[in-house]
Amino acid sequence: MRTNYPKIVEIAETKSEAKDIKTFRFRYNKKVSTGQFFMVWIPGIDEIPMSASYTDNFKGVTVEKIGEATSALFKMKKGDKIGIRGPYGNGFKTPKDRVLFVAGGTGIIPVASLAEKIKKKNSLIVFGAKTKKELFFIKRIKKSCSKLLISTDDGSFGYHGFASDLAKKVLEKEKFNQIITCGPEIMMKKILDLGLEYKIPVQASLERYMKCGIGICDSCAINGYHVCRDGPVFDDRTLRKMRDFGKFKRDASGRRVRI
């Protein structure tokens, strides 16, 4: 049995979500839970980690174009072939009612997929982006949550400021039993601190440079944990033990660099 080997699939559908954000759908019949990720092989270019943005049989990843591999993927069309390994990682634990989701940028990808799965009308999503043009998945979120609050760093839409500041305002007024967050690590660090202040458990989904995806190459290590295998979702107790959380990550060579 070879499980950790790329399965070649055809891109069945692509959809532009926003400027430089595209969803790629493909058929891949392994069971995937929200918060897990795939290693996506773009033949001849690279293999990169991508959260599952759709977890039924018609799977999907939603990609932001930021560099060589994602640009190459953006050029691919329906019928083109990519390799999929996984799913990897633990995924989110099904949260207790009532949930506050806090997502920044592409962090909305696993968050929207989880909100859609649990379908709790009383949960609330705080979604922050740099600017209005970078907002996506809005319709999808509105279908699964009663409330969506948006912030933009430049004030072009919704609350003018950071998602973490907006989340703080929300927490001052409303009660929650669980916080789920994904986005820039500085933001997630602030959310972890808010969770502590308001005594609400937090689950956060982390990103680190990945190679093997199966917990042996050590490139996604953070203080003895491996994001590919022990994560990418960690709870507040574990996050507080990670001295590098919100401060340092490692580049492709393993050097510890500031976030």
Partner 1 sequence: MKLSTEISGLKMRNPTVLASGVLGETGESLLNVARNGAGAVTTKSIGIKPKKGNKNPTVLETEHGLINAVGLANPGIDEYENEIKIALKSKIPVIGSIFGKDKKEFVYLAKKMGSFGVSAVELNLSCPHAKGYGIEIGDDKKLVYDIVKNLKKSVDIPVFVKISVHTNIVSLAKNIESAKADAIVAVNSLKGMKIDLDLRMPVLSNKIGGYSGPGIKPVGVRTVYEIASSVKIPVIGCGGIMNGEDAVEYMMAGASAVQIGSGVYYRGVDVFRKICKEIKTWMKKNSYKKIDEIVGIGLR
Ligand X SMILES: Cc1cc2nc3c(=O)[nH]c(=O)nc-3n(C[C@H](O)[C@H](O)[C@H](O)COP(=O)(O)OP(=O)(O)OC[C@H]3O[C@@H](n4cnc5c(N)ncnc54)[C@H](O)[C@@H]3O)c2cc1C
Residues that bind partner 1 (CB under 8 A): 2-6, 8, 39, 41, 43-48, 81, 83, 210-219, 221, 223-224, 226, 250-256
Cβ nearer to ligand FMN, comparing 214 with 242: 214
Q: What are phi and psi of 243, to 5 degrees?
A: -65, -25
Cis before 98? omega within 30: yes
214 binds ligand FMN, rule: CB under 6 A = no
What part of residues 215-244 is at the interface with ligand X (CB under 6 A)?
232
| 187 lines the binding site for ligand X (CB under 6 A) | no
- Separation between Cα atoms, residue 239 and residue 245, nearest integer Å: 7
Q: Are the C-beta atoms of 220 and 148 separated by less than 8 Å?
A: no
216 binds ligand FMN (CB under 6 A): yes
Instruction: Give dist(CA 115, CA 98) in Å, integer.
Output: 11
Find the part of the chain contacting ligand X (CB under 6 A) among 132-140, 170-178, 184-192, 201-209: 201-209
Long-range contacts of 169-177 (CB under 8 A, 24+ apart): 170/100, 170/124, 170/126, 171/100, 171/198, 171/200, 174/100, 174/124, 175/98, 176/98, 176/99, 176/100, 176/124, 176/200, 177/95, 177/96, 177/97, 177/98, 177/99, 177/201
Report 44-83 residues binding ligand X (CB under 6 A). 46, 48-51, 61-64, 66-70
Residue with tokens 């916080």: 179
Task: Number of residues interacting with ligand X: please give it, by CB under 6 A.
Answer: 22
Stretch that binds ligand X, among 4-12, 126-134, 165-173, 205-213 (CB under 6 A): 205-213
Q: Does 217 bind ligand FMN (CB under 6 A)?
A: yes
CA 233 to chain centre: 9
The least CB distance from residue 207 to ligand X, in Å, is: 4
Q: Which of ligand FMN, partner 1, ligand X, none lies near 207, with the C-beta cut-off 5 to 8 A by kind?
A: ligand X
* Tokens standing for residue 144: 């699964």
By CB under 6 A, what part of segment 138-177 binds ligand X? Answer: none
Q: Does 181 bind ligand X (CB under 6 A)?
A: no
**Would you count residue 134 as binding ligand X (CB under 6 A)?**
no
Q: Is residue 109 near ligand X by the rule CB under 6 A?
A: yes
Q: Which helix (H) or strand (E) holds 116?
A: helix 108-118
By beta-carbon distance, which residue lies closest to ligand FMN? 217
Which residues contact ligand X (rule: CB under 6 A)?
37, 46, 48-51, 61-64, 66-70, 106, 109, 207-210, 232
Which residues contact ligand FMN (rule: CB under 6 A)?
216-217
